[in-house]
Amino acid sequence: MGETIFSKIIRKEIPAQIVFENDDILAFRDINPQAPVHILIIPKTSEIESTRDIDSKKHSQLLGSLFDAANKIAKDLGVSETGFRLILNCGPDAGQEVYHLHMHLFGGRKMNWPPG
Ligand code: DGP
């Protein structure tokens, strides 16, 4: 399924500032950070291009692991108590650019609501 720039990051063919990794998940700093802490948390499998491909029967464990990773990273990077935002962009209107499921973790500054 979908080969993207994130596939190359997973295979370590292009560099990234990795902040967390286990067998199923990789997390690294966004190349174009929108906050002092801006991390992308991705499954290593590329079978899920977007949230619309999520099937709870197949993916619930993986999704749980993504949130576990987000909580650990937020703690490790010192934004767990001050607060952070998790975002999953799905499709063109949401501004999704990379079609490999990814969760953005923003933190380290006060954020506006609603988002633009
Ligand atoms: P989205 O718009 O939700 O699809 O976000 C994709 C994000 O991926 C965007 O914030 C920029 C980031 N990004 C794209 N290419 C690279 C890359 O090669 N390295 C890193 N670290 N981030 C990337």
Instruction: Supply the pTM of this predicted model.
Output: 0.98
User: How is the chain split into domains, by residue range?
Assistant: 5-107
Which residues line the pocket of ligand 1, CB cutoff 6 A? Answer: 5, 16, 28-32, 40, 89, 95-98
Helix (H, G, I), strand (E, B) or coil at 97: coil
Annotation marks residue 100 as catalytic: no
Per-residue model confidence as pLDDT tens digits over 59-97: 999 999 999 999 999 999 999 999 999 999 999 999 999
CA dihedral 76, 79, 85, 86 (to 10 degrees): 0
Per-residue model confidence as pLDDT tens digits over 98-113: 999 999 999 999 999 9
CA dihedral 23, 57, 85, 1 (to 10 degrees): 60
pLDDT score, position 2: 78
Which one of the listed residues 59, 100, 102, 104 is annotated catalytic? 102
What tokens appear for 75 in the block? Answer: 């703690």
Rounded percentage of the chain residues whose pLDDT exceeds 90: 97
Q: Is the pLDDT of residue 8 over 70?
A: yes
Per-residue model confidence as pLDDT tens digits over 14-72: 999 999 999 999 999 999 999 999 999 999 999 999 999 999 999 999 999 999 999 99
Region 5-107: CATH code:
3.30.428.10
What does the mean pLDDT of the chain come to?
Answer: 97
Nearest CA to ligand 1 atom 23: 31
Nearest CA to ligand 1 atom 16: 31
Token look-up 């937020």 returns 74
39 beta partners:
29, 105
